[in-house]
Amino acid sequence: MFEWAYDGVNSSIPRNVGPECAHYLSTKRKIIETAFVSIFIISFWVWGFKKITLPKRLPYINQDRLGKKVLLIIMSMVLGVEIGFKFTSRTIIYLLNPCHITTAMQIYLLAADPSPMVTSIFRIHLNLMNGPVLAFLFPETESRRIFPDKAVYYIQHGLMLVIPYYLLRIGGVYNVEPLSDLNWSILSYGFNLAYHFWILQLIALPVQVNLSHMLCSAVLDPFEGQNYRMGAFVHQGLLCPFLSKLLCYLYDYLLTKCPLTKVKPSLEIALPRRKVVESLTFNGIHIYESFIIIKIVLPDHVTIGDK
């Protein structure tokens, strides 16, 4: 019934699709692993929801900026082109891969009005940056047969790393917890595991498509074998918070310490929306970044009623 969504998947790529990949692990092992990981998922959620905190005195004011609009338009176009390629190649099922979900989250963050929900999603999505980082370190573009399709792959994952930097530059609702606070990372990893084991696995099994390597390991996977998913459970549990904290530290350095890119004294401070770009006053006209204020200065001997 839904063959149009996955019958274009390239079967010539090893461990990409087919019964051999689907039966890489026995049904019994899949059930045991899913039950085992589910215990951790629930534990991570219980721990996370009890421990996470948000700033109590954060003004949720509109932070609409030209840069946000430009990034929103570009990322929306990139995702739209990606969806178009997936429909053309009859591989729509790949839109369920985690990086596309993270991209959709970033589009929401760029478009939504400031709120506690925006802050929460922003902090959660920072713990999903293992996707774009690994996409550059271990690119999987074999199934992308034309150059524009491959180009979109790199553009999308590059933007996924640029957008958090820009949003942290704005500040306000786009803020992060202290580096020593791992509660958001624990909660986020619970969501990450739930998406892989409860959603992707259930979709991948009947169609025998190896979504996010949930059915069989990659050929170059150092943990290749019957325990590869448990290996991924451990190393991604360490990698996700590590990359999140590393990127936050890097962004903090660039935005608050690096002489070439510093824009504010600390990361949690919201970047002023109206900033004087030149200390220029000419006949009472002050030039600003996005608007002009005309200040009329009357001589002391002239009053408003004078003609």
Mean pLDDT estimate for the chain? 88
Answer yes or no: are the C-beta atoms of 209 and 6 closer than 8 Å. Answer: yes
- The pLDDT-based confidence of 287 (bands split at 50, 70, 90) is very low
- The pLDDT-based confidence of 270 (bands split at 50, 70, 90) is confident
pLDDT value of residue 63? 67
305 residue type, one letter = G
Q: What distances in angstroms separate CA 290 from CA 40, 287, 293, one per listed residue?
A: 50, 9, 10
Can you say how many angstroms the Cα of residue 129 is from the centroid of all Cα atoms in its chain? 6
Give which of 76, 2, 34 is closest to 195, Cα–Cα.
34
- The pLDDT-based confidence of 76 (bands split at 50, 70, 90) is very high
Interatomic CA distance for residues 206 and 112, integer angstroms? 36
pLDDT value of residue 302? 47
How many CB atoms sit inside 10 A of residue 221's CB? 15
- The pLDDT-based confidence of 61 (bands split at 50, 70, 90) is low
- The pLDDT-based confidence of 268 (bands split at 50, 70, 90) is confident
In the predicted structure, residue 35 carries a pLDDT above the cut 80: yes
pLDDT value of residue 216? 96
Region 219-245: what's the mean pLDDT? 95
Lowest mean pLDDT among 21-25, 61-65, 181-185, 199-203: 61-65
CA atoms within 13 A of residue 271's CA, in its CB half-sphere = 22
Answer yes or no: are the C-beta atoms of 170 and 68 closer than 8 Å. Answer: yes
Task: Look up the pTM and report it.
Answer: 0.86
Tens digits of residue pLDDT in 126-135: 999 999 999 9
pLDDT value of residue 59? 64
DSSP label of 282: E
Q: What is the DSSP string of 119-169?
A: HHHHHHHGGGTHHHHHHHHS---TT--SHHHHHHHHHHHHHHHHHHHHHHH
DSSP label of 305: T
pLDDT value of residue 276? 40
Region 261-269: what's the mean pLDDT? 87
Tens digits of residue pLDDT in 178-217: 999 999 999 999 999 999 999 999 999 999 999 999 999 9
In the predicted structure, residue 262 carries a pLDDT above the cut 80: yes
